[in-house]
Amino acid sequence: MKVIVIGTGFVGLTHAAVCSEYGHEVYAYDIDRERIAAYQTGQRQEIERYVNEPELAAIVQERLARSLFFCNELAPIIEGVEVIFLCVPTPAGLDGATDLSSYLAAVSVLAPLLAQRRDAGRVVIVNKSTVPVGTARSLAQILQEYQVPNVGVASNPEFLPEGDAVEKSRRPDRVLIGADDQQDFQLLRLLYSQFVHHVRIRYIETTPETAEASKYVANSLLFTAISFWNGVAARLAETDEKIRLDELRMAVTADSRISPWGSYVSNGAGGSCFGKDIQSLIRQLRTGGQQTPLLDSVYAINEEQKTYLLERAEQQGISFQGKTVALVGLAFKQRTNDIRDASSLALIEALLQRGVSAIRTYDPMALNNARRMFTPEKNPLYSKISYHESAQEALQGSHAVCISTDWQEFRGLSRTIRQTVSPPYVILDGRRMLPDAAELVRAGYDYVAVGSVYLQAQEQKAEEQ
């Protein structure tokens, strides 16, 4: 089948690449010319500058110019297309409602071209972007206004998590299609023929509204699990050192009805989806006359969680003013270079507000994205941020370290800390990454982790007594 993918970020590039693996002729289009030029080189480094996902660059290299083509013009590729995916950003607007400006901009370029095409075959336009309930129906209306002939619309939300984008596109938990017309269901069954009768993958056909709603409900439920563990279980364990959170988690999730997903307590969930999708759902419910106390709390708990470790340290009399702080982990989770809505961003702002003298950062993948975000032109205080090639380098000369991402390499950070910095020193562990924290405390370091009581350096305690 001839397929066009509009928007080539995490979702669009992955989807285009995996569709090309299944024998479709895929044209991936983006307004960002530099991005398209980078993909066209076929060079791993160039591709990963934009989307860094395991195996993705290899598929692009393999399929490039055979069944996968990149372009920044839609007109030359429109004839004969059967399925068009919209994979453009749908961020939160200032009021929390979904900002559909990129989506509508893409539609306004696409619709006149479709209205003028010579080919009379059926074409279905598919929302893969996460869009509010009712967007597919509004799209059908727009297409009607442009008098596009023989066109259908469908909703096919994407559920992939970053870091596993290729794996979850090749083997999703479900493929969800919302449409009204049997011709459109049929076109998408052909496109996804590898999944239609799969023994493990659920292939679900429903209304566009149900598909759109499912994406928001799924993300908000996952987000709720995280805020429950952070806001209830972790807080409880912070009240009594005899509550051991890791064992509590094992005990609770041993029940097959309770998922372990979400139980990994943290200094807040980040990423491009949870925050903006829950805000959008809140807006959609309120517009429909509903109250949203649960979702409001889920969001608020998570926002507070991002910088809560700093407050816990301050409650123990620690001040960050004039201090040098190492921040290790900038990505919103391990195995990605994405820093959108990462807790590290909130930590940087909170540390600058507290008057730190320097923030020394390290991340195995996300340094360049952070460099691009924190330019001194945006805020002169950002010149206090420096970027380092290892955790050890970032720790040098620091008075405290914040661990903000669950990179596995941070499990060995205790040794680096002991070799690089001497007490008095504060360790803020947002991901419970240090299995041997007790030894650090015995060696004179203060340790505060999500889900554990504050552990004051033992030598310091002795001096005080």
Ligand X SMILES: NC(=O)c1ccc[n+]([C@@H]2O[C@H](COP(=O)([O-])OP(=O)(O)OC[C@H]3O[C@@H](n4cnc5c(N)ncnc54)[C@H](O)[C@@H]3O)[C@@H](O)[C@H]2O)c1
Residue stretches of the annotated binding site for NAD(+): 30, 35, 90, 130, 162, 276, 340
| 67 binds, options ligand UPG, ligand X, none, Cβ within 5 to 8 A by partner type | none
- Residue 87 annotated among the catalytic residues of the structure: no
Angle of helix 10-21 versus helix 56-63 axis, rounded to 10: 50
- State which of positions 202-231 bind ligand UPG (CB under 6 A): 219, 222, 226
| 205 binds, options ligand X, ligand UPG, none, Cβ within 5 to 8 A by partner type | none
Binding flag, residue 102, ligand X (CB under 6 A): yes
User: Is-contact 14 56, C-beta < 8 A?
Assistant: yes
CA–CA distance, 358 with 346 (Å, rounded to integer): 16
CA–CA distance, 446 with 464 (Å, rounded to integer): 14
Binding flag, residue 280, ligand UPG (CB under 6 A): no
Of the two residues 78 and 222, which places its CB atom closer to ligand UPG in the complex? 222
**Token output for 393:** 């380098």
Binding flag, residue 85, ligand X (CB under 6 A): no
Query: Which positions ≥6 away from 333 have C-beta within 8 Å?
Result: 162, 163, 270, 271, 405, 406
**Token output for 376:** 């001194």
| 9 binds, options ligand UPG, ligand X, none, Cβ within 5 to 8 A by partner type | ligand X
Question: Radius of gyration (Cα) for the chain, nearest Å?
Answer: 24
Residues touching ligand UPG: how many (CB under 6 A)? 22
Binding flag, residue 267, ligand X (CB under 6 A): no
Give whole-number Cα distances, 392 to 310, 345, 404, 438, 444, in Å: 22, 21, 15, 21, 19
Helices (H) and strands (E) in the chain, counts: 21, 14
| 266 binds, options ligand UPG, ligand X, none, Cβ within 5 to 8 A by partner type | ligand UPG
| 12 binds, options ligand UPG, ligand X, none, Cβ within 5 to 8 A by partner type | ligand X
CA–CA distance, 456 with 381 (Å, rounded to integer): 31
User: What is the DSSP secondary structure assignment for residue 50, as one 8-state letter?
Assistant: T
- State CA 173 to chain mean position distance: 18
- State which of positions 145-184 bind ligand X (CB under 6 A): 158, 160, 162
Q: Is 205 helix (H, G, I), strand (E, B) or coil?
A: strand
Of the two residues 266 and 336, which places its CB atom closer to ligand X in the complex? 336
User: What is the DSSP secondary structure assignment for residue 335, as one 8-state letter?
Assistant: T
Catalytic residue selected from 19, 71, 87, 273:
273
Of the two residues 20 and 129, which places its CB atom closer to ligand X in the complex? 129
> Given the rule CB under 6 A, which of 30-38, 246-254, 356-364, 406-414 is the region that contacts ligand X?
30-38
Smallest gap from residue 457 Cβ to ligand X (A): 40
CA–CA distance, 36 with 185 (Å, rounded to integer): 31
- The 376-415 contact track toward ligand UPG, x by CB under 6 A, reads ------------------------------x---------
**Which candidate, 401, 417, 337, places its Cα nearest to that of 372?**
337
Which residues here bind ligand X, judged by CB under 6 A?
6-12, 30-32, 35, 87-90, 102, 105-106, 129-130, 158, 160, 162, 272-273
Residues that bind ligand UPG (CB under 6 A): 130, 158-162, 219, 222, 226, 261-264, 266, 269-271, 273-274, 332-333, 406
